[in-house]
Amino acid sequence: MTEVAPPPPPPAGLPPQPPALARAIALDLVTRAKLRLTDPRDSRLGELGAGRYHLGAASWTGRRAVFAGFYTPPADPAAAGQDLAARCAAAARWGAERLPIQGAERCDILLIALGPMAGSLSAPPANPAVHVGAIAIDPATAEVTVLLPPPGDLVTPREARGRAQALLSGQEAPTLAAVDLAERQAVAGGYSQPARTQLSSRPVATYALIASFVLAFLIEKALLGRGSTFYDLGVLGSAQPDWWRFVSYAFLHDPGGSYFGLPIHVVFNSIAMYIIGRLVEQLYGWRVLVATFLVTAVAAGLASVAVADVLNSGGGTVGASGGLMGLLGLLFVLGRTQGREVPVGIAHGMRQYALSYGVMVVLFGFLVQANNVAHVGGFAAGALVGLVLPPLARLGGRDLRVWEQLVVCAVIALAVAALVVGAAHVVGTLGASPALGARLG
């Protein structure tokens, strides 16, 4: 019978590999639970760092903080129990501290002892949002003992036993480098990829809004060329405060200026909706896109009318830019309160884009004497909406609650009613003008 030679020691200067069982289970933690391997020198670990664990994995962002650590218990049962109790107490303190630092709603901690232990512990006193679990795995027999009920979606006792049995049957454990590579691939592919896939979907609602701008503009041109006035069509102003105009004005555009024969206002806003609207629709869904555009357009109109009344300035407001700025405000707060688990790069990129684009619109508004009151009012309203409504669950947000769905649907229904009333007003205006009716007839 030949003996298998032990693996060669690591080169001088390199730290030893963590135990094989720790590496095998850690592979599951980084690929399935999407945890990140920890550096024992990381100050975020606090009492859990400084080499107290052979290997650790954590989640540092999002609504859920997580830590899983592997260690070897003392051989003496009494000392092992005391050691575990101290570790659990330290973990509970760390979890309570981590909640406000991370802005998390809960913290799950799993301590994995790589050696036989008997008995069970009482759960350590801690914040109710902190859950400390502990299991012991005997590498020699693959027996697993539950010392404190573990969080079920990290490593179950059955899964731990399966990994230990696989190693006993001769399966080779992954190296630490392989676990680290798997972690990087999981973060790049399994975490960010859903966002990339969603961001490549077709934004049907965005196209529908653009089509509504163009259709309304064509109707404007037809009616204005036949004797109707611009205010008849639904322009919002302090002298025309009808409730339905706070919606209708957002679908109308100034037919005056043109460049190379193209109407600048509707073309500019249609392009802006294509750029901004599709991002919002792909991140938040079509319902939130439409509802946010409508609500922030109303808010922009209210701000415009209020300031016009204070300044006793005349004129009317028309165009979709107030609602578009609202969509930018929604993107600006992405990841702040809602969507904390959206990939950091995407959330940061959206915030930078929204801020820079919004500033550009306001500066351009001064040059062309646009209604910057409506622009700023719409942006602020969109930011407030973003503090309440989340992005899609598959991107790191959550599903809309029932009351949120009802509010969104009510906003869309009220806007449709406003447009119907506006259309009836236009028809009534046309019918009241005999000369215009004769031309149209």
Query: What is the location of CATH 1.20.1540.10 in the chain?
Result: 196-440
Residue type at position 234: G
Ordered per-residue pLDDT tens for the chain, 441 residues: 445 455 555 555 445 789 999 999 998 888 888 888 998 888 899 989 888 999 999 988 878 899 999 999 998 888 998 999 999 999 999 999 999 988 888 999 999 999 998 766 665 666 789 999 999 999 999 999 999 988 878 888 999 999 999 999 998 888 888 888 877 766 655 445 555 555 566 889 999 999 999 998 888 887 776 555 656 666 766 566 788 889 988 998 887 665 555 688 899 999 999 999 999 999 999 999 999 999 999 999 999 888 887 776 666 788 899 999 999 999 999 988 888 777 666 787 888 889 999 999 888 888 777 788 999 999 999 999 999 999 988 777 888 999 999 999 999 999 999 999 988 887 777 666 544 443 333
The pLDDT of residue 197: 55
Distance CA 91, CA 418 (A): 57
Q: Would you state the torsion angle of the CA atoms of residues 158, 160, 162, 164, taken in this order, to the nearest 10 degrees?
A: -150
Distance of CA 159 to the CA centre of its chain: 31
pTM of the predicted model over 0.85: no
The pLDDT of residue 395: 79
The pLDDT of residue 254: 80
Under CATH, what is the fold of the domain 196-440?
Answer: Rhomboid-like fold (1.20.1540)
Place of tokens 């209210």: 302
Which residue from 192, 189, 392 is spatially nearest to 279, judged by alpha carbons? 392
196 token code pair: 């990339």
Q: DSSP string spanning 377-426?
A: HHHHHHHHHHTTS---GGGTS-PPPHHHHHHHHHHHHHHHHHHHHHHHHH
The pLDDT of residue 327: 96
Place of tokens 């020198």: 41
The DSSP bridge pattern shows strands 55-59 and 36-37 to be antiparallel
The pLDDT of residue 393: 83
Count, residues in the chain:
441
The pLDDT of residue 2: 46
144-148: strand order across its sheet: 36-37, 55-59, 64-71, 106-113, 130-137, 144-148
Alpha carbons within 13 A on the beta-carbon side of 258: 6
The pLDDT of residue 227: 52
Class of residue 201 by CB neighbours under 10 A (exposed 0-12, middle 13-18, buried 19+): exposed
Query: H/E element holding 332?
Result: helix 321-332
